[in-house]
Amino acid sequence: MTYLQDTLARLQQTSPAQTEFYQAVEEVLESLEPLLEKKPHYLKHSIIERMVEPERQIMFRVCWVDDKGEVQVNKGYRVEFSSTLGPYKGGLRFHPSVNASIIKFLGFEQVFKNALTGLLLGGGKGGSNFNPKGKSDSEIMRFCQAFMSELYRHIGPTTDVPAGDIGVGSREVGYLFGQYKKIKNSYDGVITGKSVANGGSLLRNEATGYGCAYFANYMLEAQNSGLEGKTCLVSGAGNVALHTIDKLYELGAIPVSCSDSSGTLYHADGIDVDQIRKIKSDGNASLKDYLSTHSKAKYVARDDNPKNGNAVWHYKGDLAFPCATQNELTEVDARALVEAGCVAVVEGANMPCTRKAVNTIVKAERLFAPGKAANAGGVATSQLEMAQHAGMQSWSEEKVDSKLQDIMHGIYTRSHQAAEEFGQPGNLLLGANIAGFRRVADAMIEQGVV
List 89, 125, 230, 247, catalytic entry: 125
Q: Over range 408-416, report the average pLDDT.
A: 98
Q: Is-contact 216 428, C-beta < 8 A?
A: no
What does DSSP say about strands 123-128 and 254-255: parallel, antiparallel, or unpaired? unpaired
Q: Are 81 and 111 in contact (CB under 8 A)?
A: yes
Q: What is the pLDDT of residues 207-264, one digit of tens each?
A: 999 999 999 999 999 999 999 999 999 999 999 999 999 999 999 999 999 999 999 9
The answer, as to whether pTM is greater than 0.75, is yes
How high is the mean pLDDT of the chain? 96
Please name the residues in contact with 170: beta carbons below 8 A apart, sequence gap of 6 or more: 164, 193, 194, 195, 200, 205
User: Please, where are the H alpha helices in 39-152?
Assistant: 41-44, 47-51, 100-116, 137-151
Name residue 191's amino acid. I
Asked about 104 being catalytic, the answer comes back as no
Tens-digit pLDDT profile for residues 177-203: 999 999 999 998 899 999 998 889 999
CA gap 209, 232 in Å, rounded:
14
Looking at residue 99, the DSSP 8-state letter turns out to be -
Which residues neighbour 279 within 8 Å (Cβ) at sequence distance 6 or greater? 285, 286, 287, 289, 290
State the average pLDDT over residues 119-145: 97
pLDDT of 3 above 80:
no
CB 180 within 8 A of CB 148: yes
Between CA 112 and CA 119 the distance in angstroms is 11
Q: What is the pLDDT of residue 1?
A: 44
Minimum mean pLDDT range among 36-45, 146-155, 335-344, 395-404: 36-45
Instruction: Give one DSSP letter per residue of 219-250, joined into a string.
Output: HHHTTT--STT-EEEE---SHHHHHHHHHHHH
Residues 6+ apart with CB under 8 A from 385: 189, 192, 193, 194, 199, 200, 201, 204
pLDDT at 100 over 70: yes
Which pLDDT tens digit goes with each residue over 43-67?
888 999 999 999 999 999 999 999 9
Q: State yes or no: pLDDT of 268 exceeds 70.
A: yes
Question: Would you mind telling me the total number of residues written for the chain in this entry?
Answer: 450
Q: Which of 89-98, 250-259, 283-292, 431-440 has the lowest mean pLDDT?
A: 283-292
Residue 126, pLDDT > 70, answer: yes
- Find the mean pLDDT for residues 6-19: 94
Q: In the prediction, which pLDDT does 333 show?
A: 98
- Residue 351, helix vs strand vs coil: coil
- 1: Cα separation from own chain's centroid: 32
- Measured distance CA(11)–CA(9) in Å, rounded: 5
pLDDT band at 273 (very low <50, low <70, confident <90, very high): very high
For 59-94, how does the pLDDT look when each residue is reduced to its tens digit (9 = 90+)? 999 999 999 999 999 999 999 999 999 999 999 999
Looking at 295-404, which runs of residues are DSSP E strands? 298-301, 319-321, 344-346, 367-369
In this predicted structure, the answer to whether residue 98 has a pLDDT above a threshold of 80 is yes
Question: pLDDT tens-digit profile of 293-352?
Answer: 999 999 999 999 999 999 999 999 999 999 999 999 999 999 999 999 999 999 999 999
Distance CA 440, CA 30 (A): 17
Average pLDDT over residues 355-370: 96
DSSP state of 349: S
Q: Which amino acid is at 125?
A: K
Q: Which domains does the chain have, with CATH numbers?
A: 3-185 (3.40.50.10860), 207-369 (3.40.50.720)
Q: Look at residues 355, 354, 334, 352 and name the one whose alpha carbon lies nearest to residue 344.
A: 334
